[in-house]
Chains A and B, each alone.
Chain A
Amino acid sequence: MVERNDDSASSIGRVLIALSAAEYAEQAVNTALSVAQSLHAELAGLFVEDVNLLRLAELPFARETGIATAASRPLEMAHIQRMLRDQAQRLERVLAAAAQRSQLPWSFAVARGQLLAEAFAREADLLLLAGAFGPARLWPVPAVANAAKGPVVAVFDASPGAYRTLSAAMSFAQQRGIAMLVVILAADGAQFERGREQVQQWLARRGISARYLHAAQLDPQRLLELAGSERAACLLLPQASEVVRQHAFATLLAGLNCPVFVAR
């Protein structure tokens, strides 16, 4: 269990939003912006051009099956590049407009590779992962799920980003006026109690109360179920947490209906 609970451990100076599609750009930017604003942090944007897509387009037989038409058509490199460029520009525009409106410092970058790898490689205290390609849905996220009124779910474990996770969760909850659920990763009941007391004191100093849940171990599937049953408004977890390092983290991201923040 982490013993450091000073302000430097919980301070967040830079919030990075990483996307590989501009489908939910406004939604994602607004979420990141509200957190950055409450934390007075810089807002950084990262658009990741999926390298797999580019390789696919180089293959001679590459074809795309459209969602709207269910028809297959040749997939050309020029087309993919243009689409990605357009998406990157759109994201930058949205980010710039939002940051300037809120008078926040901002930056934007485009990278080529895999979303998670590129996002984790960047310097930031808090990452918002959204809009990743992968085994996505055929239809957009339903409106009701977006308007979920469940709590902010924060995972607290022994990893270094644990207090930043709490800090970001607290900001999100305060700003939205919603409850906070802290999932404490502890091997047994005694360890959970100690962790709960520790978090409770930390939050109490900031005038916040929360609900606590004990998890002996946490895998992406368990988190997915928890977020669903709680109708989580947002999920926050430390980057060093075991679940983030697992290969199935990408599956978790794709299956969730809410934004996911990763703190360092």
Chain B
Amino acid sequence: MKNISALQPEALCRRCDTSVFAFQTTAELDDLPSITGQPRAMGAVEFGTSMRKPGYNLFVLGPPGAGKHTMLRQHLEKLARSQARPPEWCYVNNFTEPHKPRALRLPLGRGGALRADMQQFVEELRASIPATFDSEEYRAKVEQIDAEFREQEGLALEEIGQDAAKDSIALLRTPAGFSFAPVKENEVISPEEYNKLPEQQREHMEDRMSALRERLEKVIRQAHVWHRQRRDRLRALNREVSQFAVGHLADELKERYKDLPDVVKYLDAVREDVIENVDDFRKPAEAPAPAFGPAAAKPTNFRRYQVNVLVEHAEANGAPVRQEDHPTFQNLIGRVEHLSQFGALVTDFTLIKPGSLHLANGGYLLIDMHKLFAQPFAWDGLKRALLTGVIAIESLGQMYSLISTVSLEPEPIPLDLKVVLFGDRYAYYLLSAYDPDFSKLFKVAADFEDEVARNPERVLDYARLIATVARKEALKAFDRGAVARVVEWSSRRAGDAEKLSTHLQALADVLHEADHWAGAAGRTVVSAEDIEHTIKTQIYRLDRLRERSQEAILRNIMLIDTDGARVGQVNGLSVIQLGDFAFAHPTRITAATRLGDGEMIDIQREVALGGPLHSKGVLTLSSFLATRYAQSRPLSLSASITLEQTYGHVEGDSASVAELCAIVSSIAEVPIKQSLAVTGAVNQWGQVQAIGGVNEKIEGFFDICAKRGLSGSQGVLIPAANVSHLMLREDVVAAVVAKQFSIYPIATVDEAIELLTGMPAGELDARGEPPRGSVNYLVVQRLQQLSKLRQQYARPEGKGVRKASRGRAQR
């Protein structure tokens, strides 16, 4: 029988030696300037940010709470400070197509200047244009045009009137025109008088009036032409005067922006528009706009000369770094707002609002992928902008015909920025598989490790990280004992004595709470005691279910033996994960064997409560059994195994060693020590493989044993490969030191069998036979018995079959 030694206490928890620290408290340490221990991720970030080709955006993947945002932001802000500030963007009115506002790109600080200049320009026009139109020169010219018009009109009417008067006919003005009437002494004659006139005179008069009417009609038609000519002349005069009033102001502005051809072009358009709409400027500035009526429908609109500065970087320090915490479609792409006027929604280019893409253009935009995907159309909008290289503001409502109102199609703005998406690995792989655009747009993956190696260098970095957080968050300094305890906690959190967790949020929580407890205890420096208290209180707040589970075992509601020995019964260990907290408890695994044809029944799987990994473990151990014990004869055995008193889904193969031991015990009818629990996965060759949650599992069984009273024979069998993961609680280590509890590393199933049964497992000799007195020998013997039994049962049945065949043949 192989002698398997229990692990020494030193192997159960890797302590952090405070003597490696050359400081008393973290106050003596400098800040950690950048992230350490993530060379792959940081290499990717540096590459992604320096690569200026399209599509080289970053996808930062890693566990949540690992501080990816903070690290990236710090890195990018530092990088951005050394980069040039991007140009500014404005939207201005498009005078030919007002629904398509024009985008102007301006050098730094010029956007605000143009806005102010245009405001000043309009104010000056509102003063200078009325003054110019009020001048004597203008009035005289208008008078001249009007006088000519009146003269033409007057002469024509007068001529008709005089010709009419020759025949005692008067030209009269009616409410809507003119008429001719026979008069006598300046009064229209009455019908009676008219009827008294000789018929010949009446006829002559009517013919005359008819002829005069024809002339009048021609004059009126001609007057329309004169009026149009007058209007044209007045318009030309107004244009000439306006050009004079606008010209020098516009020229001054153009001179100021002569280095910007687009702005000069815009200013030319402004000048033309002012001249075309000069009447707007002639109205008194102080006249209140009417609230109702036709005048209100078209108020004087000087907004069209405003400059909507969408993005300004005058106050910025380098390239922009922007984090969008609410990445809705509109918050990303920008939007066009509307105003309600008399129940109708109206808008113009001044109501265009920038999105994050505008604000971060020329720099970096950080977005959390989960938030992005929670917003309808946001991902599509972002992709479209990145693929086309422009930001085109679109209204979702109009895109999907949800609203029908006046809207704009602002000129798209060229886009040049790096998008940094944060997400988990699963999402990254899903997107890579299912979204063909994703790999085109996010070519750089920065994959952050969940944990980093625990070596002296990293431990010192960890101490500096603690110092950095403490300073940044205004916490008390941590003494080196506290730092050491945090390092141990970090390894335990990583589930590996050779690693440190990178979960910065959890670290910050521990530091905050320890600072609180230190303060409550009246300490000025956080000590190891405060860290210990913090960890215990954190667990206490979460371990209600663990307590209930242990209580059920201690009250024998859940049947778990921790002493004695039973055939076909072994203590397995189950881990329960509840959010950020995991605990384990022992689970009774039983096996029952009987004569059969090699069938292995996994009860959990039969009732669909076993996951695929659990089923895989059972099938693997079945294969091991058949390979080892039934290579040359049929396995005349049926076995069933179950995890007793489990009422939910069971997953994982970490119980397969325990299940195998229970079956072997059942076949060999050798009892198993109930003072031991076992965990581990088995392969087809009987080797024991590593499992997860080893610390929780050991502690789970230890807690039950400790509460029932440690006997010294109790312990846990763990895969040897898991020894390096051990970061056990101090009380467990203390019990091991006191030889009250043992932890055995096992590499094969035979080692487990020997420890659990106290009998040698028995190695097969050259003939493939195990030695007498071993467990394997008993197994082989039992299987042979079963095989013989099966043969006996098969004979009469075989005859019957032959008879039946004959019977069928006779028929």
Residues of A within 8 A of B (CB): 21, 51-53, 55-56, 58-68, 70-72, 75, 80, 83-84, 87, 133-139, 142, 144-145, 149, 231
Query: Given the complex, which residues of A lie within 8 Å of B220, measured CB to CB?
Result: 65-67, 70, 138
Quick check: is B384 within 8 A (CB to CB) of the other chain? Answer: no
* Inter-subunit contact A136/B173 (CB<8 Å): yes
* Inter-subunit contact B189/A80 (CB<8 Å): no
Query: Given the complex, which residues of A lie within 8 Å of B150, measured CB to CB?
Result: 137
Query: Given the complex, which residues of A lie within 8 Å of B219, measured CB to CB?
Result: 138
| A59 in complex: contacting residue of B194, B213, B227, CB < 8 Å | B194
* B754 → chain A closest CB, angstroms: 114
Quick check: is B188 within 8 A (CB to CB) of the other chain? Answer: yes
| Residue of B174, B180, B191, B209 with most partner-chain A CB within 10 A | B174
Q: Roughly how many angstroms separate A75 CA and B191 CA in the complex, as a whole number?
A: 14
Q: Roughly how many angstroms separate A144 CA and B140 CA in the complex, as a whole number?
A: 10
| B172 in complex: contacting residue of A52, A58, A60, CB < 8 Å | A52
Q: Roughly how many angstroms separate A61 CA and B183 CA in the complex, as a whole number?
A: 14
* Inter-subunit contact B217/A80 (CB<8 Å): no
* Inter-subunit contact A55/B217 (CB<8 Å): no
B residues 529-569 with Cβ under 8 Å of A? none
Measured CB to CB, the nearest residue on chain A to B158 is A135
| Residue of A21, A59, A231 with most partner-chain B CB within 10 A | A59
Q: Roughly how many angstroms separate A135 CA and B695 CA in the complex, as a whole number?
A: 114
* Inter-subunit contact B178/A64 (CB<8 Å): yes
Q: Roughly how many angstroms separate A113 CA and B375 CA in the complex, as a whole number?
A: 80
* Inter-subunit contact B189/A55 (CB<8 Å): yes
Quick check: is B450 within 8 A (CB to CB) of the other chain? Answer: no
B residues 119-174 with Cβ under 8 Å of A? 134, 139, 142-143, 146, 149-150, 153-154, 157-158, 161, 170-174
Nearest 4 CB-CB pairings of A with B: A133-B173, A70-B220, A55-B188, A83-B175
Measured CB to CB, the nearest residue on chain B to A145 is B146
Of the A-B pairs whose beta carbons lie under 8 Å apart in the complex, a sample of 20, sorted by A's number, is A21-B173, A53-B172, A55-B188, A56-B188, A59-B188, A61-B206, A64-B174, A65-B177, A67-B176, A67-B177, A68-B176, A72-B217, A80-B174, A87-B175, A135-B157, A138-B219, A138-B227, A139-B153, A144-B146, A231-B139
Other A-B pairs, 19, CB within 8 Å; known A51-B187, A53-B172: A55-B181, A55-B187, A55-B188, A55-B189, A55-B190, A56-B174, A64-B179, A65-B179, A65-B217, A66-B220, A67-B176, A133-B172, A133-B174, A135-B161, A137-B153, A138-B153, A138-B227, A144-B139, A145-B143
Quick check: is B265 within 8 A (CB to CB) of the other chain? Answer: no
* Inter-subunit contact A139/B227 (CB<8 Å): yes
Query: Given the complex, which residues of B lie within 8 Å of A142, measured CB to CB?
Result: 142, 146
* A230 → chain B closest CB, angstroms: 12
Asked whether A135 and B171 contact (CB < 8 A) given A55-B181, A55-B188, A64-B177, the answer is: yes
Q: Roughly how many angstroms separate A72 CA and B182 CA in the complex, as a whole number?
A: 17
Query: Given the complex, which residues of B lie within 8 Å of A145, measured CB to CB?
Result: 143, 146
Query: Given the complex, which residues of B lie within 8 Å of A149, measured CB to CB?
Result: 134, 139
Q: Roughly how many angstroms separate A68 CA and B213 CA in the complex, as a whole number?
A: 15
Query: Given the complex, which residues of B lie within 8 Å of A64, measured CB to CB?
Result: 174, 176-179
Q: Roughly how many angstroms separate A67 CA and B153 CA in the complex, as a whole number?
A: 12
Measured CB to CB, the nearest residue on chain A to B216 is A65
Measured CB to CB, the nearest residue on chain A to B139 is A144
B residues 179-230 with Cβ under 8 Å of A? 179-183, 187-191, 194, 206, 209, 213, 216-221, 223-224, 227
Q: Roughly how many angstroms separate A84 CA and B177 CA in the complex, as a whole number?
A: 14
| A53 in complex: contacting residue of B174, B190, B224, CB < 8 Å | B174
* Inter-subunit contact B189/A63 (CB<8 Å): no
Query: Given the complex, which residues of B lie within 8 Å of A21, measured CB to CB?
Result: 173, 175
Q: Roughly how many angstroms separate A59 CA and B195 CA in the complex, as a whole number?
A: 10
Query: Given the complex, which residues of A lie within 8 Å of B191, measured CB to CB?
Result: 58-60
* Inter-subunit contact A139/B223 (CB<8 Å): yes
* B139 → chain A closest CB, angstroms: 6
Measured CB to CB, the nearest residue on chain A to B145 is A142
Asked whether A66 and B153 contact (CB < 8 A) given A144-B142, A144-B143, the answer is: no
| B181 in complex: contacting residue of A59, A65, A139, CB < 8 Å | A59
| Residue of B153, B194, B220 with most partner-chain A CB within 10 A | B220
Q: Roughly how many angstroms separate A64 CA and B182 CA in the complex, as a whole number?
A: 14
Query: Given the complex, which residues of B lie within 8 Å of A61, measured CB to CB?
Result: 206, 209
| Residue of B176, B177, B178, B219 with most partner-chain A CB within 10 A | B177
* B143 → chain A closest CB, angstroms: 7
| A58 in complex: contacting residue of B190, B221, B224, CB < 8 Å | B190
* B229 → chain A closest CB, angstroms: 12
Query: Given the complex, which residues of A lie within 8 Å of B142, measured CB to CB?
Result: 142, 144
* B347 → chain A closest CB, angstroms: 33
Asked whether A66 and B223 contact (CB < 8 A) given A59-B191, A72-B213, A135-B157, the answer is: no
* A240 → chain B closest CB, angstroms: 23
* Inter-subunit contact B179/A63 (CB<8 Å): yes
Q: Roughly how many angstroms separate A80 CA and B220 CA in the complex, as a whole number?
A: 21
| A65 in complex: contacting residue of B194, B213, B227, CB < 8 Å | B213
Query: Given the complex, which residues of A lie within 8 Å of B179, measured CB to CB?
Result: 56, 62-65, 75
* Inter-subunit contact A134/B146 (CB<8 Å): no
| A56 in complex: contacting residue of B134, B176, B181, B223, CB < 8 Å | B181
Query: Given the complex, which residues of B lie within 8 Å of A83, measured CB to CB?
Result: 175-176
Query: Given the complex, which residues of A lie within 8 Å of B213, measured CB to CB?
Result: 63, 65, 72
Q: Roughly how many angstroms separate A57 CA and B191 CA in the complex, as a whole number?
A: 10
Query: Given the complex, which residues of A lie within 8 Å of B216, measured CB to CB?
Result: 65
Q: Roughly how many angstroms separate A72 CA and B213 CA in the complex, as a whole number?
A: 8
Query: Given the complex, which residues of A lie within 8 Å of B174, measured CB to CB?
Result: 53, 56, 64, 75, 80, 133
Query: Given the complex, which residues of B lie within 8 Å of A136, measured CB to CB?
Result: 173
Query: Given the complex, which residues of B lie within 8 Å of A133, measured CB to CB?
Result: 172-174
Query: Given the complex, which residues of B lie within 8 Å of A80, measured CB to CB?
Result: 174-175
Q: Roughly how many angstroms separate A145 CA and B206 CA in the complex, as a whole number?
A: 39
Q: Roughly how many angstroms separate A51 CA and B188 CA in the complex, as a whole number?
A: 8
Query: Given the complex, which residues of B lie within 8 Å of A134, measured CB to CB?
Result: 173
Q: Roughly how many angstroms separate A87 CA and B175 CA in the complex, as a whole number?
A: 9
Q: Roughly how many angstroms separate A133 CA and B157 CA in the complex, as a whole number?
A: 14
Query: Given the complex, which residues of A lie within 8 Å of B146, measured CB to CB?
Result: 142, 144-145
Query: Given the complex, which residues of A lie within 8 Å of B154, measured CB to CB?
Result: 135, 137
* B295 → chain A closest CB, angstroms: 14
Q: Roughly how many angstroms separate A68 CA and B176 CA in the complex, as a whole number?
A: 8
* Inter-subunit contact B194/A138 (CB<8 Å): no
* Inter-subunit contact A52/B187 (CB<8 Å): yes
* Inter-subunit contact B178/A67 (CB<8 Å): yes
